[in-house]
Each structure stands twice: as C-alpha cells, then as structure tokens.
Structure 1
Amino acid sequence: MEYLITNVTLLTGTIITSITNSANGTASPEKRVKRAQRIVREISITVYVMAFLLGTTGNGLVIFFTTFRMKKTVSVVWFLNLAIADFIFTFLLIFRIVHLAMDYHWPFGRFMCNLDVGIFYINLFSSLFLITIISIDRLIAIKFPVWCQNHRTPRLASIVTLVVWVLAFILSLPYAMFMDTTKVENVVYCLSNYSNDKDVAMSRNSGVTITRFIVGFVLPLTVIVLCYTVILSHIRKNYMTKSSKPLKMIAAIIILFFVCWFPYHVFSLLRLSIKYRGKGRFGNVVRTGMHYCKILAIMHSCVNPILYVFMGRDFKEKFRSSIQSVFEKAFSEETVQTSFKRSSQLMSLNSCKLKPYLQNNM
C-alpha cells in the first residue's frame, strides 16, 4: 500500500531530512545532511546527559529541602512546584538519551512516546504559568502588604498551583494525543501525526503552534512585564531598597526562562512558514534551528537550582553556609515583610503626629 510520511517530527526536534516513502522507493539523503544530522545528534546527547545529571540532582535538592527542612511559605510553595516540574522532566531525559544513541530509533513503545512529549509540554506550561503567578504575587505583596499579611497563605498558594497543574495538563493533551510511532525500514520513529490528510494535518499543526505561542508566551510575557514595571516604579517611589534582593532572583529566573524558550517559539512559527513540507535550504535551516532551540529549552530545566544558590546570598558566603541556609535565603519572604513593616512604620508615624493635635483639641 502506498503511503507518505513527510517532515517526521521526532521527540528531540524535527529530523533534518524528510523521510518520504512512496511507490517510487526511498530517497537517500545527501552526505552533508547525514553529517549535519550526526553532529546535531552528538551535541544533543552531550547536552541531555548534562541536563539529566544537573537537573535531577539540583531539583532533587530543592524538593528535599523545601519539603522536609524549610518552613512552608508562599514562596516555598511556588519554587517547590517549579522544582517538581523540572525534576520530572529531566528524569525522563534518559529515554531521549537512549533514543538519540540508537540513531533516532524509539524502542519504548507508543505509550512512552505520548508520555514523554506530554511531560515536555506540561513542563513548558506549568513553569511559565508559575513564573507568571510569582510575578503577580510579588506585585500584590508590594502594593497590598496588609492584605497579604491576612490572606496570602501557603494554603491559597497550594490551591493556585493545583489550578496551574490542571491547566498545564489540559493544554499539553493535544501534543501527547497526536504523537504516534511509525516504522520505516526497521527503525521505529516517535513522531507527530496530526492526520493522514495533509491539509488537515497542516491546519491542526498551525492551530496548536499558534495557540502555544499566544497562551504560552505572548499573554504571560505581557502580564510579567506589566507586573514588574509597576513593582520597580513602586520600589523607586518608596525607596524600598531592601526589597530589591528577592526581586533580583525572580527577575533573573524570568529572563533566563525567556532566553531559553523564546527561540523555540520563534522557530516553531518559522516552521509553519515552510508550509509543513518545506524543502530546500530554508527548510533545512529551520528544521536544524528548531532542533537546537529545543536543546536550549531542555537546558532550562536544570539551571534554576543553580540560580537559587548564586542569587541566594553573596558568592563567598555560599561556601561558608549550609545548602539549607542558601535555599532559605533564596526563598525568603523579605519583600512582603519589608513592605508590611514600612506600612506599619508609616501608620505609627502618622499616629504620633496626630497625638498633639488631638490633645490640643480635646
């Protein structure tokens, strides 16, 4: 039976060459394309092994200390859930490492093919949504410190994170559902299969890509930029210098997130411009670039714990402190406490100023 597979999308990115089977046989790729594919594969294996080791160790430490050794605060709830998302994702990288080492052969079956891609996008959406929530939380903590003291609780934060996980799971379902395994010349590929009809497949691919770009990038970026614009304006206006330290860590995490994920979204949109079956030099550049962008995105899951340590306190002090104290410093509630203390001081000062006036008019 005649069949056609074009632009096979592998788990680790889009394969450089198009696998096209028809009644006329299979076209063999050029030598330079094979060489480029081998280089990309070797780089990917190296990066994935590093991400696996750093991600499971670093995020495992964050999970251990935030769960068993630290007081449960709102900030701890946020960062614990970030670490859980990253730990699960980096742990499952072992399947991708084996997959690449076997020259893109997928020996784990269809279920793991669906699961691995589903976890990838759950990590994408949950991390982005949590960082957006953290930005909103910082804004509320600074603008409404009294309300935060009464209503900003770990229980409320846990409910919010539960909603984030559910939403991330729902948004990741289309990617997992459209994954499938296909055997080509005794090699099993894990690829996206939107439909057997080319027009339907292109339409669905465009839909999920554009939705991911808007929901997973444009809207969160807009919210984050607005939140931190207001926060920085409030800090400068009220000379809240003590509140800048925790904000630096949050800002660094956000910047790092978008540096890692923005290229991925850009090349996802470029891939649509080659009309799903793009050939030629531009198509090869986009597919190769998409592969490297996915490598960059994967590395993001193992760098947050490193960032916590180096942003938690001064570099020299880190080597004199225990790991637990570093995390405690990094996840401190300094912003809320400082804002509340400042509000209390202002209220106390106003009361002192009113006393002589009241005494003279009684």
Structure 2
Amino acid sequence: MVNVLPFRGWWWRWWWGLVIQAVTNIYGLIFACTCGLILCVGLGANLLVFLLFAKHNSLRRNRLDVLLLSMTLADFLTLLLIPFTLHSAISQSWPLGDVFCKVYQFLLAFSMAASTYSLCAVSVTRAMIITNPHRPPPHMDLVALMFALVWALSFLISLPLRMFATKESIGPSPGLANFTYCLPTIHEHHYQVVLSQFVLFYFAPMLVIAFNYARLALFLHRSPVMSLASARNTRRASLMVFLAAGSFSACWLPGYVLELCVYLGLYRHGLAWETFYFACTVLQYLHPCVNPVLYVLLSKRYRHRRAEWLFGCAAGNRVHPQVTSIATDSL
C-alpha cells in the first residue's frame, strides 16, 4: 500500500495554518467563506454548461453556443484563480514568487477580458439573429472568427496592462515586512492601468452591449403579438435583455467607482468604506457565477433538456412562431 501520510500531513498543516490565520483576521475569514461559496457555485454552474453543450452537441447546431462556450471558458479560468486570491487574503502574503505573480495577474486580466469581449460578441450575434428572423443565421466561419478575435484581442490588451505586475511588501514598520501582495502594476502606473481597464474592460464593452440590447429590446416590443404565449415570451426576452446588461454593469461598475474615490482622496479607513471595498471585490468574482445561469441555465432552450438530464424527465416538443422561437432560443 502506498504511504499517503506525508502528503496528508502536509496538506493538513497547510490548511490548519490557513484556518488559524483566518481566525486572527476576521476580514480574511469572511472573504474566504464568501469566495469559497462563489467558487463552488461558479465551478458547478460552468461545469453544468460544459456538460449540457457536450451532451446535446449543440455547438454544431447553434451558432450562439460557440460564443457562450467562449464566455464559459473565460469564466472558468477566472474561477480557477480564486484560490490564489483566497490564500493571499487569509495569510496576508503572496505565497509564490514574482514571476508567478506576473503570470497570475496576466491570467486574471486575460480571463476577465475574454469573458467581457465574449459578452460583446454574444450581444452582437444575438441582435443579428433576432432582428433578422427571415435571414439565415451567421455562418459558422464568421462565428469562429469572432471566437478567435475575442481571445486574440484579450491577449494583446492584457499583456501590456500586466507587464509591470509585481510582488511588493506593504507596511513601513519591520513587523509588516512579511506582508507581501501581488499587485497588478507598480505604484507609479496604478491609475493609468485602472483608467485603461475602465475604458477597455468596461466602458467600451458596455456601449457595445447596451447598443445591441437596446436594438434587440426595441425590435421585440415592435414585433406583432400573435398569442398570449408570444406576449409572454416577448416579456421574458425583454427581461433577460435587461438582466444581461444590468448584471454586467452591477458587477463591474462599483469597483471602478471605488478606484475613482481613492484617486480623488475620498476613501477613508472605516467600516463603511471597508464594507464597500469588500462588496466591490465580491461582485467582480460573482460575475462568472451569474453568466452561466443567466445566459444558459435559465434559457428556455435548455429548460427541458436540463430537467431531463438532472431528473430523468421526458420533455415534449413544442412549436412556436419563427420570431418567438428565435428570440426565446437566443435568450
């Protein structure tokens, strides 16, 4: 029998050390519990999306699912980086070297950019499909090109933004010399990086998403309603459009507002500001959990398939008008 006690002892000492440090750091303990819950829910939701796509082989039949897969891959990568943030928050130190700090910060920016630009591609494709119901959907070559552009653009933008990521010690006194953190850039470039991220990761994508979803919502409300079911589907589609844009803004805007307050000198140490800082951080990590639920798991297209897969229920086939079917399936 293989002796597993040395490994088990190392793992137990490492975990118990984190627990002891967390008890002495209430903020780290609360943050760890919250991020642990987000990590479990997010990984479960994104894995379920992967399984749904694989089980029903929908990537070949539905163009939009290719871009939703792109978003899911990016969100999954973001969630895989949470344990490093979790360890740093509890132990108040970066456990790895300066090189891996740069790799970590790059992957974090890269995954967030890929998720955001995938949402932009989804909004563009969704608007193209729904507002042109009598035209054929975008060709798979065009969707594959959008997939490649999303990841290439994310790489090219994230690399210069994280090239100055560094491991630094925080605190002027000798007792705080061991408190090291992995920062996204050096202090001199901090607000240039924050401003660049605001424009490239939030403002410009939000304009694209808002424009396409406003066009989509306007089309849905102007479409003729043939039945009560069609009216219900139209209201549901409009609600999903609002939730999609609203969740993106709600998860990312508070963090940039906080950075602006720090830059203007409005930030003060206190319970209210620290709670706001905590909420901003949690919201940014919550977005990878919201995306799969909002875009895939709540989709009517997967409702019966999800029930059949989870509970073994048989799903009956239903026929909807063409416009309603496209709007519902895309949402």
Paired positions, count: 287
How many Å separate the matches in 1 of 2:326 and 2:179?
A: 64
2:181 to 184, 189, 193: 189
1:245, distance to aligned residue in structure 2 (A) = 4.6
Q: Give ranges in structure 2 of 5+ residues lacking alignment.
A: 1-21, 170-175
1:134, distance to aligned residue in structure 2 (A) = 1.7
1:64, distance to aligned residue in structure 2 (A) = 2.9
Q: Do the aligned residues in 2 keep the contact of 1:253 with 1:307 (CA within 8 Å)?
A: yes
How many Å separate the matches in 1 of 2:247 and 2:68?
A: 15
How many Å separate the matches in 2 of 1:137 and 1:69?
A: 21
The aligned counterpart of 1:123 is 111
Q: Does 2:252 correspond to 1:267?
A: no
Q: Does 2:205 correspond to 1:220?
A: yes
How many Å separate the matches in 1 of 2:160 and 2:326?
A: 47
The aligned counterpart of 1:98 is 87
After TM superposition, the structure 1 stretch with the greater mean CA deviation from structure 2, 105-114 or 180-189, is 180-189
The aligned counterpart of 2:290 is 303
How many Å separate the matches in 2 of 1:205 and 1:285?
A: 24
User: Structure 1 residues 51, 280: closer, same or farther in 2, change over 3 A?
Assistant: closer
2:155 to 151, 157, 169: 169
The aligned counterpart of 1:29 is none
1:209 to 187, 191, 194: 194
User: Structure 1 residues 65, 154: closer, same or farther in 2, change over 3 A?
Assistant: farther
1:243, distance to aligned residue in structure 2 (A) = 5.6
Q: Secondary structure at the match of 1:107?
A: coil
1:290 to 266, 277, 294: 277
1:193, distance to aligned residue in structure 2 (A) = 4.2
Q: Do the aligned residues in 2 keep the contact of 1:146 with 1:340 (CA within 8 Å)?
A: no
User: Structure 1 residues 56, 130: closer, same or farther in 2, change over 3 A?
Assistant: same
1:144, distance to aligned residue in structure 2 (A) = 2.8
Q: Does 2:98 correspond to 1:113?
A: no
- The amino acid that maps onto 1:295 is V
Q: Does 2:35 correspond to 1:43?
A: no
Q: Does 2:139 correspond to 1:153?
A: yes
How many Å separate the matches in 1 of 2:206 and 2:147?
A: 19
Q: Do the aligned residues in 1 keep the contact of 2:93 with 2:179 (CA within 8 Å)?
A: yes
Q: Do the aligned residues in 2 keep the contact of 1:58 with 1:305 (CA within 8 Å)?
A: yes
Highest CA radius of gyration, 1 or 2? 1
| Cα RMSD after superposing both structures | 3.7
The aligned counterpart of 1:3 is none
1:60 to 47, 52, 63: 47
1:318, distance to aligned residue in structure 2 (A) = 8.5
How many Å separate the matches in 1 of 2:101 and 2:224?
A: 53
TM-score, normalised via structure 1 length: 0.67
1:247, distance to aligned residue in structure 2 (A) = 5.5
